[in-house]
Amino acid sequence: MSKTVRIAIFASGTGSNAEALIKKMQTLPSENGRVEFILSDKREAPVLEKALRLGVTGYLVEKTGDRAVHEQEILKLVDRHQIDWIFLAGYMRLISPQFLKELRLRHQGQAQMVNIHPSLLPAYPGSQAIERAFSDQVPESGVTLHLVDEGMDTGPVLRQEKLSLHGFESLSDFKARIHELEHRLYGELLENIVNKKIATSFFKEVIEC
């Protein structure tokens, strides 16, 4: 019998990508995969309200002064729900090397954390990528899906798609087209993972010696 892929979504803001992922999951066979929870590090993040409205468990793990303590609290949720894949959807906190190491221990050497970024990496890493590309009036930008590693937006690229920058459009129009592309690409990745077109190293509990 095929295993169910368990997914967690981490988000810090409005959660438009998180909402699109949940709605995409609702169109897929429930026995193949499910979103176990949405996690946010910000109490006022609208994504938590969206999780409630969409019937998905939401967790708040606020930032603390101690990064290790914060990540250990998150890891407890990963273990409780036996998470196979983590989708970052506007999660505005760098993932530490130690956290990635812990994930790899649970997934046979694979961290299985993915991120979506609104530029054609390596161009415009970090925050305000859409605004910076628009300000520079580049002829094209786009969206990148990549695995998460120890750097900022530096992990192995899974997929990129280009989008032309129309010289006559506003920043808000450009943002809307980028976000539409993000939702489609992330949804397609989710579908490929859930339908086993992308291999999953399933969660394995770490036994403390």
Instruction: Give whole-number Cα distances, 206 to 27, 94, 101, 107, 196, in Å.
Output: 32, 24, 12, 10, 24
Q: Which of 70, 117, 146, 183 is catalytic?
A: 117
Contact present, 142 and 180 (Cβ < 8 Å): no
Contact yes or no for 165/139 (Cβ under 8 A): yes
Beta strands of 54-174 (E only): which ranges?
57-60, 85-88, 113-117, 140-147, 157-164
183 is an active site residue: no
CA distance 138 to 133: 6
Q: What φ, ψ does residue 202 adopt, rounded to 5°?
A: -70, 150
Residues identified as active-site: 117
